[in-house]
Chain A
Amino acid sequence: MRTIALFTCVIVAGFSVGAFAATEMIHQQGRAFSVESISVKKGEAVTFLNDDTVPHNIMSASKGNEFNLGSQAPGTSTDVTFKEAGDVQVICAIHPRMKMMVKVTD
């Protein structure tokens, strides 16, 4: 019984690793990011929330931290975990005025 309880706790803990709350929330409203830059530690997640009225395509081509959220619909959020230290330029491919920097530290 104790084994089952422990195993259950471990399973729950495991899921929470995958779903752990991001430390930073970036909003997208009025075709703009809510901040121009943020600083996060390597391995930390950032949540990109599309609270605008149109889809966005948030992405980065910065080496070591490339990502692409595809077409992110209004009313959805996605976590991005940065694996490498350095400056990450994040843009919306659809709306070129949307630019921000994520500084990833060790």
Chain B
Amino acid sequence: MPAPGSYRSRILAGTIASAALGMLGFSTIGFGAAVVGESRKVEITQKAPSGIDALKALYRRPASIPFPKDNPYTPEKAALGKKLYFDTRLSVTSAQSCASCHSPGFGWGDGLAVGVGHGMARLGRHSPTIVNAAWSAIFMWDGRLPTLEDQALGPIQSPGEMNMKLDDLMARLASIPEYKPMFETTFPGQGMKAKTLAQAIATYERTVVSERAPFDAWIEGSEKAISEDAKRGFALFNGKAQCAACHEGWNFTNEGFQDIGLPSTDIGRGEYLPGVIKMQHAFKTPGLREISRRSPFMHDGSLATLEAVVDHYDHGGVDRPSRSDLMRPLSLTAQDKADLVAFLKTLTSELEPTAVPVLPR
């Protein structure tokens, strides 16, 4: 029989060993001090919409535009913001305005594969639309800006885009006699400064909302508003093709970031979350409203047509560690693809012409 002391030692050693075994058995370490356990399979009950009417309800247009509490809507602010949005004097060369890259004529984009910046130099990414930006949670393809107000000032200051220093811009705007009283009326007690400039532009941008499309008439009960092909496409969009996993809600985006397997060296969101594999090559999911006016498509403008976009998703893209787990070959038939494109085309409205404002002198 072992001595009592030895017996206690063995229990202590066993306790330590078994605790360590337990940790090994159930834990791995994350990239920090928090301890991350092993994932377990869990039985869950998914709440899926039941029937086509429940599905349609998920896509109903909102009744009003959301404006932030710290920058509420006023008609004067939106009108001033519109003048600033279309004013080329916001760029150092006085040749570019916000509307140069986000033009109503191209679904509030520019119709180019990648944008053109200062000195007509090609930019690295496709100019995104500003349609329905009021509902966005985060801005730019890589999500680097948290508010539309920040976004409004970003391209103005960017050396590759409008290349205008804010101090110089405010001095230039102050030299235009008609601007100062507009700022004073719109922002009593605040006047003309970078913050109010950004608030005015962002307020105008929030008023740029996609108009009623055939799809809206259909989900509100007009069965003849879209074709039978498009109705099948809607079912595929929410089913076999899995598009709705990311393109969800009335603006057809959950504002998420995914690597969809485009063969590009641009790491996108990965620049801001370098330790997160799934963010490498990940870009913000764009909304799909007014999509027919917005070709070419994708963050790099690499796909010219909606047919090419559907083919890309059907193929699944480049298989790499960062690729979204939702991306995989879909085995869509030619009819499926045609139906999906027919559906996507129902998201484009008959946009009313946008009047270019008379600018202050």
Contacts and interface: CB of A to CB of B under 8 A. Distances in A.
18 contacts: A6-B11, A10-B14, A13-B15, A15-B18, A16-B22, A51-B42, A54-B245, A59-B276, A66-B32, A71-B325, A75-B42, A76-B41, A76-B42, A81-B35, A83-B33, A84-B33, A88-B34, A93-B257
Given A13-B15, A15-B21, A96-B138, A51 B44 contact: yes
Interface residues on B, range: 35 or more
B330 interface: no
Interface stretch (B23-31, B71-79, B116-124, B182-190): B23-31
Given A74-B44, A94-B257, A66 B30 contact: yes
B26 A18 contact: yes
A1 interface: no
Contacts of B27: 18
Given A68-B31, A78-B37, A11 B42 contact: no
B15 A78 contact: no
B304 interface: no
A79 B254 CA distance: 26
A76 B326 contact: no
Nearest to A30: B47
Interface of A: 3, 6-7, 10-19, 29, 31, 45, 49, 51, 53-55, 57, 59-61, 64-84, 88, 93-97
B278 A70 contact: yes
Interface of B: 7, 10-11, 14-15, 17-27, 30-44, 46-48, 137-138, 143, 245-246, 248, 254-258, 269, 273, 275-279, 282, 324-326
B34 A97 contact: no
A55 B18 contact: no
B9 to A, nearest CB: 12
Nearest to B7: A3
A54 B22 CA distance: 31
Nearest to B42: A77
Contact of A81 (B34, B275, B276): B34
A73 B21 contact: no
A64 to B, nearest CB: 5
Contacts of A81: 34-37
A75 B46 CA distance: 9
A13 B16 CA distance: 10
Contacts of B7: 3
A18 B22 contact: yes
Contacts of A67: 30-32, 34, 36
Contact of A80 (B26, B35, B143, B245): B35
Nearest to A97: B137
B256 to A, nearest CB: 5
Listed residue (B10, B40, B246) with the most chain A CB atoms within 10 angstroms of its CB = B40
A68 B326 contact: no
A66 B44 contact: no
Nearest to A60: B34
Contact of A96 (B30, B39, B255): B255
Contacts of B23: 17-18
A76 B42 CA distance: 5
Contacts of A3: 7, 10
A63 to B, nearest CB: 8
A29 B257 contact: no
Nearest to A95: B256
Contacts of B33: 64-66, 83-84
Contacts of B30: 66-69, 80
A30 B119 CA distance: 45
